[in-house]
Amino acid sequence: MPVFIVYATAVILLTGLFPVQESYREVINMIAFGTFGWGAFRNFEPIGPMTALAVVYAVIAILFNPISPVILLELPSRILHIGGAILLVATARRFTR
């Protein structure tokens, strides 16, 4: 996955902090689910240093699951969006190794 897609996903997550339509929130969830799912896949090694990062990506992907969404209150949802964007920007190079 190209790095610019990871950065674009971070920006899209931050746009979810503003009041938007529910259909746009579903699009945000689909994009975030795909990006974090891919990050979990790329960073999983049976025994290695990146396994913890893969687990973090997998947990966040589950929280953004568009098929069976996890309903969060407003504050935890905002924290998830901000934290997810920061995590993506901080670990963007891990998607292309």
pLDDT in tens, 72-96: 788 888 999 999 999 999 988 877 7
10-23: average pLDDT:
90
Q: Whose structure tokens read 């396994």?
A: 51
Q: Give the contacts of 89 (CB within 8 A, at least 6 positions apart).
A: 6, 7, 10
Contacts with 93 (C-beta within 8 Å, 6 or more apart), sequence order = 3
Structure-token pair, residue 76 = 């935890």
Residues with Cβ within 8 Å of 75's Cβ and at least 6 positions away in sequence, in order, are: none
| Mean pLDDT computed over 14-36 | 90
Q: How many whole angstroms separate alpha carbon 7 and alpha carbon 22?
A: 23
DSSP 8-class letter at 48:
S
3-state secondary structure of 19: coil
pLDDT band at 48 (very low <50, low <70, confident <90, very high): low
9, 35 contact by CB (below 8 A): yes
